[in-house]
Structure 1
């Protein structure tokens, strides 16, 4: 049996690296396939997990559109399948890389396994194009690896056969456990922010760029200045994001803006923060491991488990809503709450399910 595990973006490699490592550990013939959708950020991640690509399509070009990415990935797999035979192609999440790889595999009769299946926001255009991508991937997947019982229930409600669904937990918790075991997180955090209280910020989503992001940033600034607490913000490389962030936070003495950080550094910052304000999906899953409250700066979330568990609030993108949510986060105490997204053993469950 041969498996191909696909990634093209930073969030994908974080969530599939431990699956690849577990496959190798269990003696499964496995290729780690990089599309290169996000070149720089992906390359940064490989050293953290001690992995290299077996195949690299290197599709990244300046100013490429979603259709450019889709075409290049489909074509890349068309050529790859002429050279190598696979029993399974595993894709993760909801990127254009994942959707295109799943369709290309399905069209060639290769079984598709979808890691992190069953997530839904309920709005086809928010997030865009991720909501469409994950729905399409689930349609063509032989195996759907649902991270939670709620995501399994979503798939069953949509009419998928239960035999195709396995609840595994989320592989991002596996990645977190790997980093906690292999790195000194306090030392990593002090390289970026030495002392004092702070909250962590990440913002980058396509649908938030513009007025929504400005509203969010106004709330973050007002809270930081009012409470005299620093905000630590690794700013995304997207020039549109950077223009908005630097203009809205210009002159704020409590704002520490940094270049993008690697996964170890981000995990270290998350561990040391009072709470996190984000529009990221992954951080919604990771923060509860460290007992951190999440202010979700979005209009929708495909991770309702966070809200239901008590670890977060869907704040929206209006200034007052975000500001009110931050005061709730400031007072949060985790008590005996547990991370609803997994236990660190998802990767093994996924690999063993196709070894039977």
Structure 2
């Protein structure tokens, strides 16, 4: 059966999460895959021309970026079917996180097929009126990518290059990995996070705090200003995927405001403190390996110190919990697309 699929994404995280699915779809008998990368902004206005040229049967978009919403809207106007990967994540507040909650909600309104990572995501879609037959619980493709990369790094004995700042990290010392870039934390939020990290660095000089710093000036400012010069705080450039997976796998615990890391860290068995007040991924909280701590310095310091000081508390969170899939989401999505195509071609 012939099926022409066009995949659209605009950011590096989207590309990473869609890569396992692209690898599966590329080997379809009778299927054609076309990939369109918008660079989030540069090519967005050319989407319509791309659809006109390719004439896809279905457009696949991912998650909650502005590219995903615009790509879905452009496909809708051309009456092209839309498949939404990582569908149904919700906080219930269109302004938190902003603009991601609006992007994924609006994309869900337009989509024909919804590939939900969890049962909770499916339930969100059902409450919004999506038809049960149009929803497939598949897990998340980010877990496919993560487990493949982790296994590759381990089996190959991969290590950071000699000129990488990560090569200087001491193997015998505990490592706390930090990431932060959410818009809702700009300003006071990031200042408070950095104040907490500075206090922790002073209290635990034997612990390595590694922070790949997002390039946004509103992140760089407080991070460099409050953490620069601290001996055991390593402020490094944003890392490519192999280096970042290596860091997560190496970490003793992780602090983040990232959505994707909320799925990745528990799948690796890493205790995770989330630097946000709400999460669109409530399933991660059920396993006891993830805690919301917000941006209050006292809470961040107390919860991090507990994990660094209390071996029993650490063991309780240091275990694998992966509600977002087993590494085979891409195959499940491909199978659902084949079933959809068989129906669509006969209508």
For normalisation by structure 2, the TM-score amounts to 0.89
SS of match in other structure, 1:299: coil
Equivalent residue number for residue 20 of structure 1: 22
**67, 87, 109: which is aligned to 2:57?**
87
4+ runs deviating over 6 angstroms: none
Listed one character per residue, the Cα deviations across residues 33-59 of structure 1 (whole Å, up to 9, x for unaligned) are 10012xxxxxxxxxxxxxxxxxxxxx4
**TM superposition shift of 1:138:** 0.5
Aligned pairs (5 A) from 1:46-57: none
**249, 264, 268: which is aligned to 1:290?**
268
Superposed CA RMSD in Å reads 1.6
**TM superposition shift of 1:81:** 2.2
SS of match in other structure, 1:349: helix
Equivalent residue number for residue 46 of structure 1: none
Q: Does 1:193 align with 2:175?
A: no
Count of equivalent residues: 323
Listed one character per residue, the Cα deviations across residues 185-222 of structure 1 (whole Å, up to 9, x for unaligned) are 66239626242111000011111111101101111221
Any conservation in 1 of the 2:289–2:319 contact (CA below 8 Å)? no
- Distance of 2:238 and 2:280 partners within structure 1: 25
**289, 299, 318: which is aligned to 1:311?**
289
**TM superposition shift of 1:80:** 1.3
Aligned pairs (5 A) from 1:224-243: 224-228=201-205, 229-243=207-221
SS of match in other structure, 1:90: strand
SS of match in other structure, 1:187: coil
- Distance of 1:226 and 1:24 partners within structure 2: 51
- Distance of 2:252 and 2:293 partners within structure 1: 17
Equivalent residue number for residue 35 of structure 2: 32
Larger radius of gyration: 2
Equivalent residue number for residue 213 of structure 1: 190
- Distance of 2:237 and 2:275 partners within structure 1: 21
- Gap runs ≥5 in structure 2: 340-347
Q: Does 1:123 align with 2:123?
A: no
Q: Does 1:343 align with 2:333?
A: no
For normalisation by structure 1, the TM-score amounts to 0.87
Aligned pairs (5 A) from 1:91-102: 91-102=61-72
Sort the Cα spacing of 1:251 and 1:188 in 2 relative to 1 into closer, same or farther, 3 A.
Answer: closer
SS of match in other structure, 2:314: coil
